[in-house]
Amino acid sequence: MLFQNKIFRYLFLSYGVSLLGSSFSTIAINFWVLETTGSARIMFVFFMVVLAINVLFGGVAGTFADRYDRRTIMWVCDLLNAAIIFVVAACMYTSFTSIPFLIVLFGLQVFIGLFHGPAFQASLSNIVEKENMSKATGAITIIDNISRISGLALGGLFIGLFGSFTAFLVNTCTYILSAGFVLMAGVIPQSHLAVEHDGKLQEKKSFFKDFKEGLQLLVKEPFIRSVLILFPILGSSFTMALMMIQVTAVQTWKAKGWEFGLIEACIPFGYILGSLVIMKLDTRIQRKGYWIFGGFLLIGPIYYCISEIEYISYVYPFIILLGFMFAVSTLLVNIALRVQTAPAIQGRVFGFLGMLHSVFGTIAVGVGTFFADIAGPQTVLAVTSLALMILALVLTATLKPLRELGKKKPKSIVEVGV
């Protein structure tokens, strides 16, 4: 039923092939920088450029997605990224190795991606009925994980066989194909552009006023504020925990290459399982807030169990369970955001969420790796688990709008300024 929706079907394909190609270029640039310069500091510079762009323009990009045609934003961003990656491919082919120039190019790619993300995420509420939102969000999550896993694997294979140039060329083609799928989707409803109050069309505000009022609403509206508190904490601890698990795998468990790869595959596998469960149960899930915080409360103990494991063969079920519980918590919140938040502000919601995730994730990884060198990754993971259990209890008690999600029929949050 869901995939009979032509617009969703083509946007789904666009999202999948775009992520597949992006994974190619991600592994290609990491490999190329390390192979060419041998410097981890250069990788850190790339990392900080990504962070800075997210902080400076995340909210701006979300506001842009709320003011203009989201379909146009998506296909234009895809074509611009195709052009940028083609230039990178040309640099690789001609052995032009100017690091500052490549940093500028990838900074532009990240900047453009900030506009594409909120436009895509906010479009779902305009094309999918509320009763199908669980299935749509779950399907997007599944294709996200499949594309990233297969993209990294195939990207590594292409680099090994044909060099980095080929990986970037493939990414160029996937961006063009992604733009084609967006155009093939046809006209996407743009209800966020027509804000009415008492039957009258409201005068369009300035960009700055839209940005300011959107930011005020994100802070003042209880449900959105609860999400903005929960997601950065949950996401940053998850990102840092994965880093500690990777370090433990190498330093303590002495993982072989295939064992390390299996650990990497367990998280998305658990995430896919969680997504399938949410899609299957769909509207039968009552008291969604209990499910969200139930998953949140269990993640801390899972971290602790992993920190106590001495042999790598015991860790795989716990990592799958970790991915499963993280999926349950985050997917239900994502679904609720799309159902309860008016289309006119969803771009800003997803834009600010992306910005906060980037900032808190970076801080968490930096702090975690610093203390891992001093006390060991398993100790850091154990301390994180205890801190997260305390935070989970506190937030369960205080974030009432999320805790009571599903107890009664939700009301959509009104448009900004209405």
pLDDT in tens, 123-161: 888 888 888 888 888 888 888 888 877 777 777 777 777
* pLDDT confidence band for 359 (50 / 70 / 90): confident
Nearest to 291 by CA among 245, 237, 330, 339: 330
In a domain, residue 413? The reply is: no
Look up residue 88 and give its two tokens: 């990178």
Domain count, the chain: 2
pLDDT in tens, 66-125: 888 899 999 999 999 999 999 988 888 887 778 888 888 888 988 998 899 889 988 888
Residues 168 and 218 in one domain: no
Residues 6 and 48 in one domain: yes
Residues 244 and 377 in one domain: yes
Task: For the chain, count helices (H), then strands (E).
Answer: 14, 2
Please report how many Cα atoms fall inside a 13 Å half-sphere around the Cα of residue 101, on the Cβ side: 12
Q: How far apart are alpha carbons 65 and 31 in whole angstroms?
A: 33
Residues 265 and 173 in one domain: no
Residues 126 and 264 in one domain: no
- Reply yes or no on whether the pLDDT at 397 is more than 90: yes
User: End of a domain among 172, 187, 202?
Assistant: 187
Q: Are 365 and 240 in contact (CB under 8 A)?
A: yes
Residues 232 and 300 in one domain: yes
Query: Helix 377-398 and helix 222-251: axis angle, to 10°?
Result: 160
Whole-number pLDDT of residue 308? 93
User: End of a domain among 132, 152, 187?
Assistant: 187
The phi, psi pair for 116, rounded to 5°, reads: -65, -45
Q: What is the CATH number of the domain that holds 274?
A: 1.20.1250.20
Q: Can you tell me whether residue 200 is helix, strand or coil?
A: strand
In a domain, residue 333? The reply is: yes
* pLDDT confidence band for 207 (50 / 70 / 90): confident
Q: In this structure, what DSSP letter does residue 192 have?
A: G
Whole-number pLDDT of residue 412? 53
Whole-number pLDDT of residue 372? 86
Q: How far apart are alpha carbons 172 and 166 in whole angstroms?
A: 10
In a domain, residue 409? The reply is: no
Residues 313 and 228 in one domain: yes
Q: How much of the chain, in percent, has pLDDT values that exceed 70?
A: 90
> Got the DSSP string for 45-68?
HHHHHHHHHHHHHHHHHHHHHHHS
In a domain, residue 135? The reply is: yes
Region 234-238: mean pLDDT is 88
Whole-number pLDDT of residue 133? 86
Look up residue 70 and give its two tokens: 């989201």
Q: How far apart are alpha carbons 19 and 14 in whole angstroms?
A: 9
Look up residue 396 and give its two tokens: 């369960």
Residues 363 and 236 in one domain: yes
β-sheet bridge partners, residue 201: 196
CA 300 to chain CA centroid, nearest Å: 21
What pTM, to 2 d.p., does this model score? 0.80
In whole angstroms, how far apart are CA 28 and each of 71, 131, 170, 184, 249? 29, 40, 11, 30, 24
Domain containing 75: what range?
Answer: 2-187
* Amino acid identity at 263: I
In a domain, residue 147? The reply is: yes
Residues 240 and 301 in one domain: yes
CA 147 to chain CA centroid, nearest Å: 13
Which residues are CB-contacts of 253 (< 8 A; sequence separation ≥ 6)?
Answer: 259, 309, 311, 312, 315
- Reply yes or no on whether the pLDDT at 304 is more than 50: yes
* Size of the chain, expressed as the number of residues it contains: 418
Residues 180 and 258 in one domain: no
* pLDDT confidence band for 201 (50 / 70 / 90): very low
In a domain, residue 365? The reply is: yes
Residues 291 and 359 in one domain: yes
Whole-number pLDDT of residue 200? 44
The phi, psi pair for 308, rounded to 5°, reads: -95, -5
Q: How far apart are alpha carbons 167 and 157 in whole angstroms?
A: 9
- Reply yes or no on whether the pLDDT at 199 is more than 70: no
In a domain, residue 311? The reply is: yes
In a domain, residue 113? The reply is: yes
Region 30-53: mean pLDDT is 73
Residue 105's Cβ-count burial label (10 Å; 0-12, 13-18, 19+) is middle
* pLDDT confidence band for 204 (50 / 70 / 90): low
| Other beta carbons less than 10 A from residue 204's beta carbon | 11
In whole angstroms, how far apart are CA 177 and each of 4, 64, 95? 21, 24, 27
Residues 310 and 162 in one domain: no
Tell me which range, 276-290, 325-339, 379-393, is most confidently predicted by mean pLDDT.
Answer: 379-393
